[in-house]
A and B are shown apart, each in its own frame.
Chain A
Amino acid sequence: MIEPLLFLWPSFLVAVCLVGIHAYFGIQVLARKVIFVDLALAQIAALGATVAFMLGHPAQSAATYGYSLAFTLLAAVLLAFTRAWGTRVPQEALIGVIYVVAAAAAILLIDRAPQGAEHLKQILTGNILTSGLNEIAVIVPLYAAVGLLHWLLRRRMTGTGALIWEFVFYASFGVVVTSSVAIAGVLLVFSFLIIPAAIGVMFASTLARQLAIGWIVGTFTSAAGLAASFNFDLPTGAAMVCAFGVALAVAGLLYPFLRGNRQNALRVATATARWTVTTILAAAALQLAAAPRADQPLIDLIEVAVPSLRTLYFTRAEHATFVDASEYAERYRREAEQLNEVERRNRTQGVAFDDFFVARISSFLKSYGEMRKGEQFVMGEVRARARERIRWSVSLGLLALALLFAPVSWRRLWTRTSSCPAWRDRRRQNPVFARQCSRR
């Protein structure tokens, strides 16, 4: 328990700092409807750093930072002025264009200096796991200064004031994003920016409350993402982004129950769930009937969860073949792994194998691979044949199940038909409807 804490606390502190400033900027960004502006600014900053690199400045020098800042300020001017301009074309279009052109221009520059690719990657794909106190020492004063500036100018930062205040907004945002993207990467910074702010805006109307909700949600979600990343051995940034996604989904699901008409929300939720189940079941039925040998996502998923389901539709002989093949496939995999391990250990221990012996190991490994593929082919073939046999009965069963789940009130179709409407002719072929109409 102590070890992960020792390893993760610097990343957690960095995440808290990033959530602190980005939740605020996120609320502003949502109000201005410029959702992807952080990507555009980060890309512009990276282009600036690339130019500096091409001119021969080292990666973390003041000159490189200067170029980044100059490019970001230029983009801030562009963004501030186009708000007043863009009447017919939404500003988001321009932001997208800035992003793709900056990215493409950086690739063109890098193509002249291959070593620069790593340099460019470093600006845009930070790794929050390897960040720590050094980063905190830089970002805390920077974010505090930006936060203070925005607090002093809080009456001006409404998004409707003079162009100069818009410029100040985009410029300070650019400075923040340039530093945070280098630490946490584009994906994670976008999540920090948008998701806590969106949840805050969902549940509160004043800036102070929105911020408080965003900070609390952001801090807890970051902690959950970091913990999941350690427990399940996942890449940290991606795990945190998914944790933020889950947080937004949960908030979105809770919203109608907490804010809206509870009964209505419940009804809509049930209908949605039933429609979803119906669609999945019907699609699975159609897929099985149309292409029994192809992948059957629903059946495959259930078989992974409950392998004994196979015994329901395999014959005894098929089941024996299937189990046998899967045991052999696993055995070949294990033996290949052992052989690899023997070779690896022999690199430094014992008497070195001669080249002929290593070649023999290599060809053994190849054979194991082929044999394993053969067994896997047998497994697939057995299953495909069994599925072909049951295609009609099971797909009919699935279809019936789908109809059962469909949120259509079947009873009403049977009873309440006061007058036979115009679609009667179309449905005459169907004996059920025909009888209904003739009865009345």
Chain B
Amino acid sequence: MVLRFAVLAAWLALLSPAFAQQRLQVVTTTTDMRSLTEAVGRDLIMAVNLVPASMDAEDYQPKPQDVLRIKNAQMLVRVGLDYDLWVDRLLAQAGKPEISRGGPGYVDASFAIAVLELRGMSVGPGDGHAHGSGNPHYWLDPKNAEIITGTILEALARIDPANAASYQANRSAFLARLGAKLVEWEAKLAPLKGMPIVAYHNSWPYLARRFRLDFVGFIETKPGVPPSPAHLAGIVKTMRERGVRILVREPQEPERDVAFVASKTGAAIVKLAASVGALPRTDDYISLFDANIKALTSAAAKQ
């Protein structure tokens, strides 16, 4: 019995480095980036996300294991736009120039994205330019997945040129599937065009732009600061005037404040996931949109 375990352990020890070498090790900050990276890498890569699903990536506290994950990685995919600033400190600690800013395995997925709501200045360590921070939830426009997967493909082909053709084929297949889905989603959301919606946090400008949704207000004006009475009274007034029937909340947002506004206005609360895995049945990038759009359409149908 003991012998059998020893043999098994020896086999595993022999196998694991070979295994690790075969599959490219990728670390992503969020589950969304992981899902998109996997769409390009498929079984040629091994991707892990640092922030667990449904945790707020903006105030994530890295754990010791995260340094280890970064040390073992050959590629890093981050959201950028000040959304995951903490990863800079992790990279400095792990001391891996090849996946740090400027290295071949460093992917800032916000590269070449048309950023919305740019105002003010970025607080992150940049390249000396005053790039505004903008709204960081750009992956919520499915069309942006084309740009994001393009940036990821470029990095993968740079690190692993032998498999470049496979990565290219994977991405094309994913984009074809996404394109077909996009037509379906646009058709499903057509009845919601111009229907006024209020959300707790401003996570949705990219989704709104793509599907022509009308977010008329937000309960939270600044992240982490509770709304003032004047603002809350204003929101309630707007909702009554414009007949807002849908109130969007993400699972990690305070239930009580949203419930309070709903009770004042009679609007229905719809739980949407801003990230893959934040809600059940949002296991990858495409099912994230499937679930959100189903929740929105069924709430709108009940009105």
Give the B-binding residues of A (Cβ under 8 A).
3-4, 7-8, 11, 59, 114-115, 117-118, 121-122, 125-127, 129-130, 132, 226, 229-231, 233-239, 336-337, 340, 343-344, 347-348, 352, 355, 358-359, 361-362, 365-366, 369-370, 372-373
Chain B contacts for A348, CB-based, 8 A: 193-194, 208, 212-214
Contact across chains for B214 and A114 when beta carbons are under 8 A apart: no
Asked if A129 and B227 make an inter-chain contact with CB atoms under 8 angstroms apart, the answer reads: yes
Contact of B117 among A8, A121, A340 (CB under 8 A): A340
- The residues of A that contact B229 with a CB separation of less than 8 Å are 4, 7-8, 11, 129, 226, 229-230, 236
Minimum-distance CB pairs A-B, first 8: A130-B260, A365-B118, A359-B114, A373-B130, A369-B132, A362-B114, A114-B55, A348-B214
Q: Tell me whether B114 and A122 are in contact (CB under 8 A).
A: no
Q: Please report the C-alpha to C-alpha distance between residue A117 and residue B250 in the assembled complex, in whole angstroms.
A: 13
For residue A387, give the distance in angstroms from its CB to the closest CB of chain B.
24
Q: Judging by beta carbons under 8 Å apart, are B233 and A369 in contact?
A: no
Contacts of A114 in B (CB 8 A): 52-55, 252
Q: Once bound together, how far apart are the Cα atoms of A370 and B128, in whole Å?
A: 10
**B121 close to A373 (CB less than 8 A):** yes
Contacts of B266 in A (CB 8 A): none
Contact check, B54 vs A343: say whether CB atoms are below 8 A apart: no
Give B195's nearest chain A residue, CB to CB: A348
Query: How many residues on chain B are close to A (CB under 8 Å)?
Result: 45
**How distant is B178 from chain A, measured CB to nearest CB, in Å?**
15
Whole-angstrom distance between the alpha carbons of A370 and B260 in the complex? Answer: 41
Closest A residue to B259 using CB positions: A130
In the complex, what's the smallest C-beta–C-beta distance from A130 to chain B, in angstroms?
A: 4
Q: How far is the CB of A135 from chain B (nearest CB, A)?
A: 10
- The residue in A238, A362, A370 that gathers the most chain B C-beta atoms within 10 A of its C-beta is A362
- Other-chain residue from B54, B129, B212 in contact with A347 (beta carbon distance below 8 A): B212
Q: A236's contact among B52, B228, B256, by CB below 8 Å, is which?
A: B228
Q: Which residues of B contact A122 (CB under 8 A)?
A: 254-256
B195-225 CB mask vs A (1 if < 8 Å, else 0) is 0000000000100110011100000000001
Instruction: Name the A residues within 8 Å of B117 (CB-CB).
Output: 340, 343-344
- The answer to whether the Cβ of B157 comes within 8 Å of any Cβ in the partner chain is no
* Choice from A127, A347, A358, A370 contacting B256 with Cβ under 8 Å: A127
Q: With the chains together, A119 CA to B293 CA distance in Å? A: 26
- Chain A residues in 8 Å Cβ range of B52: 114
B212 CB contact (under 8 Å) in A231, A340, A352: A352
Which chain B residues in 238-296 approach chain A with CB under 8 Å? 251-257, 259-260
* A130, A337, A352: residue with the most chain B Cβ atoms closer than 10 Å: A130
B211 to chain A, nearest CB (A): 9
Known: A114-B54, A355-B143. A370 touches B251 (CB 8 A): no
Please give me the residue from chain B that is nearest to A121 by CB atom: B254
Of the A-B pairs whose beta carbons lie under 8 Å apart in the complex, a sample of 17, sorted by A's number, is A114-B52, A114-B53, A118-B255, A122-B254, A127-B226, A130-B256, A226-B229, A233-B230, A235-B226, A236-B229, A340-B117, A347-B205, A355-B114, A362-B116, A366-B118, A369-B118, A370-B130
Q: Is the CB of B254 within 8 A of A118?
A: yes
Please give me the residue from chain A that is nearest to B214 by CB atom.
A348
- Pick the contact of A233: B119, B134, B231 (CB < 8 A): B231
B254 touches A340 (CB 8 A): no
B115 contacts chain A at the CB level, 8 A cutoff: yes
Instruction: Tell me the nearest residue of chain B to A236, going by C-beta.
Output: B229
Judge whether A336 and B114 touch: CB under 8 Å. Answer: no
Contact A343-B214, Cβ < 8 Å, known A8-B229, A127-B257, A373-B130: no
Give A373 to B231 CA distance when docked, in angstroms: 30
Given the contacts A230-B230, A347-B205, A348-B212, A130 and B114 also touching, CB distance less than 8 Å: no
Interchain nearest-CB distance for B253 vs A (Å): 7
Query: CB distance A369 to B228 under 8 Å?
Result: no
Nearest CB in chain A: distance from B124 CB, A: 14
A340 to B116 Cα, complex, angstroms? 8
Q: Determine whether B44 belongs to the interface, using a CB cutoff of 8 Å to chain A.
A: no
Whole-angstrom CA separation of A373 from B252 in the bound complex: 35
Distance between Cα atoms of A383 and B36 in the complex (Å): 49
* Smallest CB separation, B141 vs chain A (Å): 9
Contacts of A234 in B (CB 8 A): 228
Contacts of A8 in B (CB 8 A): 229
Shortest Cβ gap from A49 to chain B (Å): 14
Shortest Cβ distance from residue B213 to the other chain A in the assembled complex, whole angstroms: 7
Residues of B with C-beta under 8 A to A355: 114, 143
When distances are taken between beta carbons in the complex, the residues of chain A under 8 Å from B130 are 369-370, 372-373
Which residue of chain B lies nearest to A373 when distances are taken between CB atoms in the complex? B130
Would you call B227 and A118 a contact (CB within 8 A)? no
* In contact, B55 and A229 (Cβ under 8 angstroms): no
* A236 / chain B contacts, CB cutoff of 8 Å: 226, 228-229
For the complex, give the distance between the alpha carbons of A125 and B114 in Å: 36
B131 within 8 A of A: yes
B15 CB to nearest chain A CB (Å): 30
**B131 nearest CB neighbor, chain A only:** A366
Which residues on the B side are within 8 Å of A373 (C-beta)? 121, 130
Query: Which residues on B sit within 8 Å (CB–CB) of A237?
Result: 226
CA distance A364 to B143 in the complex (A): 21
> Cβ of B194 and Cβ of A118 under 8 Å apart?
no
Chain B residues with Cβ under 8 A from A230's Cβ? Answer: 228-230, 233
Chain B residues with Cβ below 8 Å from A129 are 226-229, 232
Q: Is there an interface contact between B118 and A340, defined as CB atoms closer than 8 Å?
A: yes
Docked pose: A318 CA to B151 CA in angstroms: 47
Cα(A126)–Cα(B252), bound, Å: 15
Bound CA span A287–B233, Å? 45
Q: Are A118 and B228 in contact (CB under 8 A)?
A: no
Does the CB pair B233–A7 fall under 8 Å?
yes
The answer on a CB contact under 8 Å between A337 and B119 is yes
B132–A366 touching, CB < 8 Å: yes
Cα distance A359–B52 in the bound complex, in angstroms: 31
Q: Which residue of B lies closest to A226 (CB)?
A: B229
Q: Which residue of B lies closest to A359 (CB)?
A: B114
Known contacts A230-B228, A348-B193, A358-B116; can you find 12 more A-B pairs with CB under 8 A?
A: A114-B53, A117-B56, A118-B251, A118-B253, A127-B254, A130-B257, A130-B260, A233-B230, A235-B228, A336-B118, A355-B114, A365-B115
